[in-house]
Structure 1
C-alpha cells in the first residue's frame, strides 16, 4: 500500500490466490500498475518464472522484497525432518531463490535493492524455535555476505537485512505447533493469543521503517522496540542473554503446572 501511494508499480506474489485478489482490490484506486502472481517460494522453478514474468509485464525490476515466512514450535529432540525441511524451504530457500532469480534483473535496471526479511530470531536463539532460528540466522548471513559482495563490486544494487520483532501478522496462525514438551506448554490457540498480545508493531510501521532503511541504504534495520531491546541485550551479553530467556520459560512452566494442579 505504501509503495502504491508513492507511485510504484507492483508485482505481488502469494501462495494464496484469494489474498492476492483482495490486495489487488484494495489497490485499484491507485494510478499504478499491479500484477498478481500465485507463487510457492519453496519451488525454485516457480520463483524464476515469476521473475521472468515481472520483467515481461513491467519492463524492469528495481526492488525485490523476500518476505514469505512460516513458523514452527517444536523442540530439537522431537522435531521431525519433515517439519524442519518445510520451514527451511520457505523461510531460507525462498529467500535464496528470490534473491538469485531477481538479482540479474536488478543489475540490468541500473539501480536496485534486495530486501530480505530475517527476524530478531535471526539475532537471538529461542527455545522451541530452533528451525525458525536456523532459517533466520541463515538469511542474515546470506544477506550480509551479498551486501558485501555488491559493495566490493561498486554495484548500483544494494541489500538490506530486516529484523522485525513482533509484528501483527498471521504468522502465528499459519504456524505448525509440534511437540514442545513442557518447555512451552499451551495449545496453538493460546500461543497465537500470546503472540497477538505481545506483537506491538503494525505492518504499516514495519513498511515505513523498511523503506526508510532502503532510502538510507542501511545494511540492517530493526523493527519495533522489542527488537531494539533484544538486539541490545545480545550485544551486551552475547551468550549471557540466554539466561533470562531460560528463566522466563521456567517461570511459564511453573505457572502452567500450578494452573493444572488448581484445575484438578
Structure 2
C-alpha cells in the first residue's frame, strides 16, 4: 500500500480558502481572481500594473478582509518573500491556491534576438514562478494542504519559431512543476501545471516585438490583430477550466481545444508537431472568419 496521503475533498477544493494570484492585473490572472472571489475566496493579488490591479480589485469589491493587493514585479525575490509574509498575517482563511501566473513574451528570431529581451522573458516567466513557489510553499507545507498552480503554455509542449525565449521559459515551468509534484508526495500539497492555448489576453500587445516568423506581421499592431483573430478562448472560460481542474485534483490542466491538439501532437509526433500546426493554420483562420461572419 502507498504511504502517500491524499488530500480529502474538503482540502482539495479551493472554494472559500485564500487564493494568491500573480499577474492579476489583466487576462487570465484577473479572470481567475474574479471567479475565485465569487466562490468565496479571499484573494491576495499581485501585479506590476497598478492600474490593472486596482481595476481587478474594484471589480471584485469587498473589504480589507477579502481583497489584498500589492504592486509587485515577480522578478523581485525579496519582494515576493515579503508579500508571502504579509499574506500569511492577513489571510482570513488557510491558503487554497497559489497561482503563479505572471507572464511576458518577446517575439524575435534567435539569430537577431536581443539578449536582454530573452533574459526579461526568462526572469519573469520562470524566475517569477520559482520565486513564488519558494515564497509560499513553506506556508502550504506547514498547513499540510493547498495547491501550487503554475502557468506554462502550449508553447511549453511544442516549440514555436520566433518564440524561443518564451518556449524555453514555459518548458522550464513545466519541468519544474512536474519535479515539484513528485517531491510533494505525501505532504497534502499539490503542484499543478496549466497549459493555456490561445487566450484573449494582452500578452502580445505588451510584448517586446521585433518580427514574427515568415514576416506576416511587420508591426506590433498587426501582430496583436492577428493574435486576437486566432485566440478562441476568453479569460473567463480559461478561469473556469483552471478552477474546475484544481478542484478536481488535476495535475495538468489544458485550456482550450487548441491546447488539447498541441498536447496530442507533442505525444504522437513531437518532431513534426509544428509542421502539422502550420498546415492546419489556414483552417483555423477560415473557421475564425466564419465565426466572425
TM-score where L is the length of structure 1: 0.88
Q: Secondary structure at the match of 2:193?
A: strand
Once the two structures are overlaid, the 10-residue window that deviates more, 24-33 or 94-103, is 24-33
Q: Distance in 2 between the 1:189 and 1:247 partners? A: 25
Q: Is the 8 A contact 1:8 1:32 kept in 2?
A: no
Q: Deviations over 1:202-234 (max 9, x none)?
A: 111111111111112111010001111121122
Q: Distance in 1 between the 2:214 and 2:140 partners? A: 47
Residue matched to 1:55: 88
Distance 1:120 1:74, change over 3 A: same
TM-score where L is the length of structure 2: 0.80
Q: Which runs of 5+ in 1 are unaligned?
A: 252-264
- The match for 1:122 among 148, 153, 156 is 156
Q: Deviations over 1:43-77 (max 9, x none)?
A: 11111111111111115433100000011110111
Residue matched to 1:93: 127
Residue matched to 1:24: 57
Q: CA deviation at 1:180?
A: 4.5
Residue 80 in structure 1 maps to residue 117 in structure 2: no
Q: CA deviation at 1:247?
A: 5.8
Q: CA deviation at 1:182?
A: 4.6
- The match for 2:147 among 113, 125, 128 is 113
Q: CA deviation at 1:238?
A: 1.4
Q: Secondary structure at the match of 1:62?
A: strand
Matched residue pairs, number? 248
Q: Secondary structure at the match of 2:121?
A: helix
Q: Is the 8 A contact 1:118 1:140 kept in 2?
A: yes
Q: Is the 8 A contact 1:168 1:202 kept in 2?
A: yes
Q: Distance in 2 between the 1:180 and 1:4 partners? A: 38
Residue matched to 2:183: 149
**Cα RMSD for the two superposed structures:** 2.0
Residue matched to 2:208: 176
Q: Which runs of 5+ in 2 are unaligned?
A: 1-33, 283-293
Q: CA deviation at 1:186?
A: 2.2
Write out aligned runs for 1:158-197 (5 A): 158-180=190-212, 182-197=214-229
Residue 199 in structure 1 maps to residue 219 in structure 2: no
Residue 33 in structure 1 maps to residue 62 in structure 2: no
Q: Is the 8 A contact 2:161 2:213 kept in 1?
A: no
Q: Deviations over 1:81-107 (max 9, x none)?
A: 101101111000000000111000111
Q: Is the 8 A contact 2:211 2:219 kept in 1?
A: no
Q: Is the 8 A contact 1:2 1:207 kept in 2?
A: yes
Higher relative contact order (CA 8 A, sep 6+): 2
Q: Is the 8 A contact 1:160 1:219 kept in 2?
A: yes
